[in-house]
């Protein structure tokens, strides 16, 4: 007589990468659900970029010159790449404030006590912020079309190039959320994280080619603006959108803005993710 023994297969433990991905997605889902329950977070995040589009388009548009032209429609098409880039980078403040709030409430300590990947809490949070940023950019693009922005206004483009431009914008926004994560872990209150996340963004976004042609700046300021990572992404978007604003600068980021944008964003992610995860491991509420 033979006996048959039923054995339940034992699942092999997943590797560290797959566990990190799973944990990150769980945290991202938690943050997205939280955002959906607080719709004013999304609404207020949409109001500011819409105000910038309207104000710069109609208040300053008639007095700005782009490529020797004072036509407001030319400036409007020049402007939108800068507004898009500014919008995705301003997500830094909300990311930092959200992490600082979780720290203040002790939620981060509870996460750290769970058997989960060390970087998953921060990665999940930045993924959720990326989804919110993508929604903001989508709404902003619709508003831009309503006020007269058009792709291909200064040459030929196609759908793939337009999608690539938006991809660069989201990559820059994702990179900057890691800066926000580090700020949120380094301060004691959400209010301090909001202030710390915004105060340095204004010089970064305004000392750039986002709103004006850098050729009109003083030489030392122009060099800073041309090597600004923010300027590289704004210029790359103008190239891919085929909008006015071709650069005459010999600076490498302005001659190769797409590659410069990719390189800058990748470096920011590597550097600030490493610093943020290290800070997370040693942070206390």
State pTM to two decimals.
Answer: 0.86
Look at residue 24 in the predicted model and tell me its pLDDT: 82
Range with the lowest mean pLDDT among 53-62, 72-81, 168-177? 53-62
User: What b/e sequence results for 59-83 when a residue is b if at least 16 CB atoms lie within 10 Å of its CB, and e otherwise?
Assistant: eebeebebeeeeebbbbbbbbbbbb
Q: Taking residues 216-221, what's their average pLDDT? A: 89
Residue 124 has pLDDT above 60, yes or no: yes
In angstroms, what CA-CA distances link 174 with 20, 88, 89, 126, 137? 18, 8, 8, 7, 13
Look at residue 81 in the predicted model and tell me its pLDDT: 93
Residue 4 has pLDDT above 60, yes or no: no
Q: Which has more confidence, 105 or 276?
A: 276
Look at residue 2 in the predicted model and tell me its pLDDT: 44
Residue 226 has pLDDT above 70, yes or no: yes
Q: How confident is the model at residue 46 (pLDDT cuts 50, 70, 90)?
A: confident
In angstroms, what CA-CA distances link 87 with 65, 75, 252, 281? 23, 18, 25, 30
First to last CA, the chain: 65
Query: What is the spatial distance between Cα 261 and Cα 235, in angstroms, rounded to a whole number?
Result: 9
Looking at every residue in the chain, the average pLDDT score rounds to 83
Look at residue 38 in the predicted model and tell me its pLDDT: 74
């Amino acid at each position: 007589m033979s006996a048959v023994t039923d054995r339940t297969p034992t699942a092999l433990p997943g590797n560290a990468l797959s566990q990190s991905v799973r944990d990150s997605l769980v945290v991202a889902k938690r943050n997205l659900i939280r955002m959906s329950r607080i719709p004013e977070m999304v609404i207020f995040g949409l109001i500011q970029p819409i105000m910038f589009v309207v104000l710069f388009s109609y208040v300053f548009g008639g007095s700005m010159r782009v490529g020797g032209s004072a036509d407001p429609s030319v400036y409007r098409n020049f402007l939108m790449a800068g507004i898009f880039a500014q919008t995705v980078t301003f997500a830094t403040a909300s990311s930092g404030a959200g992490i600082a709030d979780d720290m203040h409430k002790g939620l981060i300590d509870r996460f750290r006590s769970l058997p989960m990947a060390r970087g998953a809490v921060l990665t999940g949070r930045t993924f959720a912020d990326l989804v919110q940023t993508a929604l903001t950019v989508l709404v902003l693009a619709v508003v831009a079309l309503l006020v007269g922005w058009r792709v291909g206004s200064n040459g030929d483009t196609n759908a793939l190039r337009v999608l690539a431009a938006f991809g660069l914008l989201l990559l820059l926004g994702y990179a900057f959320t890691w800066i926000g994560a580090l700020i949120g872990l380094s301060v004691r209150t959400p209010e301090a994280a909001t202030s710390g996340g915004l105060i340095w963004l204004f010089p970064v976004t305004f000392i750039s080619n986002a709103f004006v042609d850098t050729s009109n700046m003083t030489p030392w300021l122009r060099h800073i603006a041309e090597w600004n990572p923010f300027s590289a992404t704004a210029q790359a978007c103008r190239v891919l959108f085929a909008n006015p604003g071709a650069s005459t600068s010999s600076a490498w980021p302005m001659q190769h803005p797409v590659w410069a944008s990719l390189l800058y964003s990748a470096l920011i992610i590597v550097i600030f993710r490493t610093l943020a995860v290290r800070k997370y491991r040693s942070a206390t509420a």
